[in-house]
Amino acid sequence: MSYAFTRRRTAAVALTAALLVPLAACGSDDAKKDSGSGAKATGSGTPKADLTVLAASSLTDVFKTAGAAYEKSHSGTKITFSFAGSQELAAQVKQGAPADALVTADTKSMDGVKADTGTPAVIAKNRLVIATVEGNPHKVDELKDLADTKLKVVLPAPEVPAGKYSKKILDAQKITVKPVSQEPNVRAVLSKVELGEADAGLVYKTDAETAPDKVDAIEIPDAQNAVASYPAATLKTSKNAEAAAAFVAWLSTPEAQKILQDAGFQQP
């Protein structure tokens, strides 16, 4: 092989390598751009994203457990919950709050934002109980006992789902209660009873079960009670639509349902 031919071949190889470097760099930049945009999929096709879920206050404890379970089985997905009264959550959605999914404690609140959500699915149900100070020193046994004016009773505010359910069952039994305060969410009612600032209050069964050493729960017969339904839906403004839909769908799976029912929620 001649010296001149060898030089020409060496030059050609060098030129080819030089041309390929910018292409490789361009591909690297594209990959970086792709990796930073919205939800992406793992090798198994599971969408990955940072999700924000607006959820009713009564879901605070159980959703922390459910969120941890979901993140464990869906690598790359992180869920941040924002808990508040359902009416407040609905207002946030109407105002365009950046979030991916919504779970309320009643269908009415969800129906009020149907223009902003996907099709909702009920994931759980709940019932009210009377929460009293531990040991039930005032001997509260049934709904009509809450009418005692010597009793400091706290109720959820009427615009809150739990407040609407409370009004419904008290009105049905023709019981008049004069609460010392009306709270913006059911967890605030529970807190008042826990701290001894109230003698009794109406809360969800699942809320009372989060504080078994601080309050007693007095069951209300089904015939006098109301059933609370919890619908979940994706938000149309979500930037992670696929991942949000996957989480909402997961809430109806056996794994999620077991977590909800272990916390005292009923089947949807």
Could you report the per-residue pLDDT of 143-174, keeping only the tens digit for each? Answer: 999 999 999 999 999 999 999 999 999 999 99
**Tokens found for residue 50:** 């940072």
d(CA 96, CA 146): 40
- Model confidence at 48, pLDDT cuts 50, 70, 90, reads confident
Going from N- to C-terminal start, the domains of the chain cover 42-125+230-262, 126-227
Looking only at the bridges linking them, the beta strands covering 101-103 and 227-234 are antiparallel
pLDDT: is 3 or 212 the higher one?
212
Q: For residue 142, give the DSSP letter.
A: S
Question: Which amino acid is it at 184?
Answer: P
Residue 20: predicted pLDDT: 37
Query: Is residue 28 scored above 60 in pLDDT?
Result: no
Residue 9: predicted pLDDT: 45
Residue 13: predicted pLDDT: 40
The reply to whether CATH 1.25.40.10 applies to domain 42-125+230-262 is: no
Q: What's the whole-model pTM score?
A: 0.80
According to CATH, the topology of domain 126-227 is D-Maltodextrin-Binding Protein; domain 2 (3.40.190)
- Model confidence at 26, pLDDT cuts 50, 70, 90, reads very low
From 103, 109, 132, 106, select the one nearest 203 (Cα to Cα): 132
**Do 42-125+230-262 and 126-227 show the same overall fold?**
yes
Instruction: Determine the Cα angle at 188 with ends 194 and 174, to 5°.
Output: 90
